[in-house]
C-alpha cells in the first residue's frame, strides 16, 4: 500500500467536479440577431423610460435582463418588490440628534446607496404584479422621480420591471393606474428558434441602438408633429382612463404617457428602427387603440403632398401599400374638388393612369368615378379616360353581379 505525499495535490472533490460541469453549462456566448422585442427594450432603456416586461413565468424575462446588463456593462441590482415593505422604497425614518429642529430623515436602503455610489446601473424590480397596493404606492416616487427617501438615483440608473399576468402570478394584483401609467409596457414572449439556439450556447445580443447624430433634430420635429397632430384632431385621446381594472393596470393615454410616446418616436426615428419595433413601443406606452391611431397618422404624414403630385404627375411616386395608395388617390381627387380647373383635372387623370399601370386596378375605381363627376361642361374628356373606362365598367359589372347574387340567396331563404 502506497502513501500519498503530504505535498501532492488532493484529488478533486465531487463538488469541485460538479462546479466544473456547471461552469461549462454557463459558458455561453451572444450573437447579433434580429429580435424586435429585445430592440424595443433597449430603445426604451436608451430613452431612460421605465419599462415593465409582461410574460408568463419561465419565459426568460429575468435572463433577458441579466444579459442586457452584461452587454451594456451596467451593474445589475435586483429587488423583489413583493417581499419588501413600503418603507423600503419610501425610506426608513431615522431619529437624529434633535428631531424638533432637524426633523426625521428618511434613510434609503443599502441597494439604493450602492447604486448612487456606482453612479450607474440597471435596477430590476422583479415580481411587480405580486406587490400589494401599499408597496405599489411607495414605488410611485421611485419610478417617476427616482427618489428613495432623501436619496435621488443618478441619471445613469435605468429602471426595468418584470411582471406576470394576474392569472399566472402567485397571489397577484393588478397594477394601480398611477403606477401603470409610469411604465412602457412590453409583452415578452418566447421565440422557439431563439430558445433552441440559446440552449445550444448562443443567445441574441442586446445592444443599445446607434442613433444617427445628423437625424436628431429631424427626429424630434417628426415626433412632435406626429403626437401633436393626432391629439389636435382627437382631443379625447389626451387623457382616457380605462373603465376596467385590468386595462387600468396596463398602458393607457395620459399627458405623461404621450410625453413618453413622443420620446420613443424620436429615439426610434433617430435609430432607424422598424415599424414593428415602433408599434410595440407606441402601443406599450398609450395602449393598443390610441397607439394604432397614432401609427395610422404616421402613415399619413409620410404620404406625398397632393399638390406636388398634381404639379408633376409624370414623376409621381405612389406608395406600394394598397391602403396608402388609395389614401393618396383620394387626397388628389379631394384637392381637385377643392380647387377645380381644367389643368388640375387633367393632371389627376394622368395620376390615375399611372396608378393603374403600377398597382392594383381596383384602387382607381372610386377615385376615377368621383373625378369624372367633377367635369365641367367646357372640359374636353382626356384620352387617358379610355384607359380607365374598362376598369370602372368591369368593377361596376362585378358589383352588380354580387348584388344580384346576394338577392338570389336571400330569396331562396
Query: What pLDDT, in 10s, does the model give residues 346-376?
Result: 898 888 888 888 888 778 888 888 888 888 8
- Give mean pLDDT, residues 232-257: 92
- Give mean pLDDT, residues 326-336: 88
Q: Residue 151 — φ and ψ, nearest 5°?
A: -100, 140
| pLDDT above 90: residue 407 | no
Q: Residue 306: exposed, middle, or buried by beta-carbon count in 10 A (0-12, 13-18, 19+)? A: buried
pLDDT for 35 equals 87
Least confident of 53-57, 181-185, 289-293, 374-378: 374-378
pTM of the model: 0.75
Q: What is the band of 397 on the pLDDT scale with cuts at 50, 70, 90?
A: very low
Report which of residues 32 and 48 the model is more confident about.
Answer: 48
Task: Please name which of 394, 396, 388 lies closest in space to residue 372, comparing C-alpha atoms.
Answer: 388
Write down the mean pLDDT value for the chain: 84
Q: Residue 182: exposed, middle, or buried by beta-carbon count in 10 A (0-12, 13-18, 19+)? A: buried
| pLDDT above 50: residue 394 | no
Strand partners, 161: 52, 125
CA distances from 252 to 202, 274, 287 (A): 36, 23, 5
Task: Please name which of 138, 188, 137, 134 lies closest in space to residue 161, comparing C-alpha atoms.
Answer: 188
pLDDT for 268 equals 95
Q: What is the band of 402 on the pLDDT scale with cuts at 50, 70, 90?
A: very low
CA distances from 260 to 266, 276, 296, 393 (A): 10, 18, 18, 50
| pLDDT above 60: residue 55 | yes
| pLDDT above 70: residue 158 | yes
Q: What is the band of 103 on the pLDDT scale with cuts at 50, 70, 90?
A: low
- CB neighbours of 75 closer than 8 A, spacing ≥ 6? 69, 115, 118, 120, 121, 122
| pLDDT above 80: residue 199 | yes
| pLDDT above 90: residue 267 | yes
- Give mean pLDDT, residues 185-208: 88
Report which of residues 356 and 101 the model is more confident about.
Answer: 356
CA distances from 248 to 54, 85, 169, 173 (A): 15, 24, 17, 12
d(CA 408, CA 413): 9
- Cα 385 from chain centre: 45
Share of the chain above pLDDT 90, in %: 36
d(CA 147, CA 202): 38
- Give mean pLDDT, residues 296-312: 85
Q: What is the band of 401 on the pLDDT scale with cuts at 50, 70, 90?
A: very low
Q: What is the band of 392 on the pLDDT scale with cuts at 50, 70, 90?
A: low
| pLDDT above 90: residue 290 | yes
| pLDDT above 90: residue 77 | yes
Q: Residue 369: exposed, middle, or buried by beta-carbon count in 10 A (0-12, 13-18, 19+)? A: middle
Convert the pLDDT of each residue in 208-239 to its tens digit. Answer: 889 999 999 999 999 999 999 899 888 999 99
CB-based contact 330:358 (threshold 8 Å): no
Report which of residues 395 and 71 the model is more confident about.
Answer: 71
CB-based contact 222:265 (threshold 8 Å): yes
Q: What is the band of 387 on the pLDDT scale with cuts at 50, 70, 90?
A: low
DSSP-based three-state secondary structure for 76? strand
| pLDDT above 90: residue 320 | no
DSSP-based three-state secondary structure for 77? strand
pLDDT for 235 equals 92
Q: Residue 305 — φ and ψ, nearest 5°?
A: -70, 125
d(CA 252, CA 246): 11
d(CA 131, CA 81): 6
Report which of residues 236 and 246 the model is more confident about.
Answer: 236
Strand partners, 203: 30
pLDDT for 106 equals 72
Share of the chain above pLDDT 70, in %: 86
Task: Please name which of 35, 407, 394, 331 lies closest in space to residue 198, comparing C-alpha atoms.
Answer: 35
Convert the pLDDT of each residue in 132-147 to its tens digit. Answer: 888 999 899 899 889 8
CB-based contact 124:78 (threshold 8 Å): yes
DSSP-based three-state secondary structure for 97? coil
Convert the pLDDT of each residue in 18-30 to its tens digit. Answer: 988 999 998 888 8
d(CA 407, CA 306): 40
Q: For 95-201, list the strands marked E by DSSP.
A: 106-107, 120-126, 147-148, 151-152, 156-163, 184-187
The length of the chain in residues reads: 413
| pLDDT above 90: residue 264 | yes
Amino acid at each position: 500500500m502506497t502513501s500519498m505525499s503530504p505535498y501532492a495535490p488532493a484529488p478533486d472533490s465531487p463538488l469541485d467536479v460538479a462546479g466544473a460541469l456547471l461552469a461549462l453549462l454557463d459558458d455561453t456566448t451572444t450573437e447579433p440577431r434580429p429580435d424586435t422585442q429585445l430592440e424595443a427594450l433597449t430603445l426604451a432603456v436608451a430613452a431612460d423610460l421605465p419599462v415593465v416586461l409582461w410574460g408568463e413565468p419561465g419565459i426568460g424575462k429575468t435572463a433577458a435582463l441579466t444579459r442586457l446588463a452584461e452587454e451594456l456593462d451596467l451593474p445589475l441590482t435586483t429587488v423583489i418588490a413583493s417581499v419588501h415593505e413600503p418603507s423600503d422604497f419610501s425610506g426608513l425614518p431615522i431619529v437624529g440628534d434633535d428631531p424638533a429642529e432637524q426633523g426625521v430623515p428618511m434613510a434609503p436602503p443599502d441597494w439604493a446607496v450602492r447604486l448612487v455610489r456606482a453612479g450607474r446601473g440597471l435596477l430590476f424590480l422583479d415580481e411587480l404584479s405580486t406587490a400589494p397596493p401599499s408597496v405599489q404606492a411607495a414605488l410611485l416616487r421611485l419610478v417617476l422621480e427616482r427618489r428613495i427617501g432623501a436619496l435621488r438615483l443618478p441619471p445613469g440608473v435605468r429602471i426595468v420591471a418584470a411582471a406576470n399576468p394576474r392569472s399566472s402570478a402567485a397571489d397577484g394584483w393588478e397594477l394601480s393606474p398611477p403606477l401603470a401609467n409610469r411604465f412602457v409596457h412590453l409583452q415578452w414572449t418566447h421565440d422557439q428558434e431563439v430558445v433552441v439556439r440559446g440552449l445550444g450556447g448562443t443567445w441574441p445580443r442586446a445592444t443599445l441602438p446607434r442613433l444617427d447624430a445628423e437625424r436628431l433634430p429631424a427626429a424630434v420635429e417628426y415626433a412632435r408633429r406626429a403626437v401633436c397632430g393626432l391629439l389636435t384632431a382627437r382631443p379625447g385621446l389626451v387623457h382616457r382612463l380605462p373603465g376596467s381594472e385590468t386595462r387600468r393596470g396596463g398602458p393607457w393615454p395620459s399627458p405623461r404617457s404621450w410625453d413618453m410616446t413622443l420620446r420613443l418616436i424620436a429615439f426610434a426615428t433617430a435609430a432607424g428602427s422598424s415599424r414593428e419595433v415602433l408599434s410595440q413601443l407606441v402601443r406599450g406606452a398609450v395602449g393598443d387603440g390610441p397607439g394604432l391611431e397614432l401609427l395610422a397618422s404616421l402613415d399619413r404624414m409620410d404620404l406625398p403632398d397632393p399638390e406636388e403630385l398634381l404639379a408633376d404627375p409624370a414623376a409621381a411616386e405612389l406608395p406600394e401599400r394598397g391602403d396608402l395608395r388609395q389614401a393618396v388617390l383620394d387626397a388628389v381627387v379631394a384637392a381637385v374638388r377643392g380647387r377645380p380647373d381644367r389643368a388640375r383635372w387633367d393632371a389627376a387623370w394622368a395620376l390615375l393612369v399611372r396608378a393603374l399601370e403600377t398597382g392594383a386596378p381596383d384602387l382607381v375605381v372610386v377615385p376615377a368615378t368621383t373625378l369624372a363627376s367633377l367635369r365641367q361642361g367646357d372640359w374636353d374628356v382626356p384620352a387617358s379616360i379610355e384607359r380607365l373606362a374598362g376598369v370602372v365598367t368591369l368593377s361596376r359589372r362585378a358589383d352588380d353581379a354580387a348584388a344580384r347574387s346576394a338577392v338570389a340567396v336571400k330569396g331562396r331563404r
